[in-house]
Amino acid sequence: MKTIAFLLDTDFEQVEYVDVKNQLEDKGYKTVLITTHDEKTLQGLNHIDKADTFSADLFAKDAQADDYDALALPGGTMNADALRFDKAAQKLVKQFNQAGKPIAAICHAPWIFVDTGIAKGKTLTAYKTLQIDLENAGATFVDKAMQQDGNLITSRTPDDIADFVAAIDKALS
């Protein structure tokens, strides 16, 4: 059984975690929740309103890309902003990238590709407000439900989750 690691801080867009996780589990994948937060209890958000809380399985500093088949990065502005500057998150994302394993980032999550240098030369999509950041980092921005460039799978919003999940599944098949 293939395992997909979800990397989150706290205050993430809940639907981009729960719906993606549930759809991937329905396809037979195992999922693990990894966090950079200082505690394992994480707050989901419905945009800016508090939603459910979730318990992480382990901390990012203790995770290795070798243990997983793919990495999923849900968005949410605060979550994505915290992840992009976190050294353990950057290290994990770089490990997945160097191994050529799928990295799937939705909404604001592709921000970490700017801070890790991974965006340069890639064609990516994301929430529209990231366009300038991605372009300044050397990426080509496209406004599409899903964009795949090599091992990177990117998507814009919760409306695109079906295309996002299909691309992750295809990349792992």
End-to-end CA gap in the chain: 11
Whether 47 is a known active-site residue: answer no
Nearest in space to 136 (alpha carbons), one of 116, 120, 156: 120
Whether 108 is a known active-site residue: answer yes
Residues 79/108, Cβ–Cβ less than 8 Å? yes
Catalytic pick among 56, 72, 107, 137? 107
Catalytic pick among 37, 84, 108, 156? 108
- In whole angstroms, what is the distance from residue 102 CA to residue 134 CA? 19
- In whole angstroms, what is the distance from residue 102 CA to residue 96 CA? 7
The sign one gets for the Cα dihedral 8, 9, 12, 14 is positive
- In whole angstroms, what is the distance from residue 57 CA to residue 41 CA? 10
- In whole angstroms, what is the distance from residue 88 CA to residue 64 CA? 10
Catalytically annotated residues: 107-108
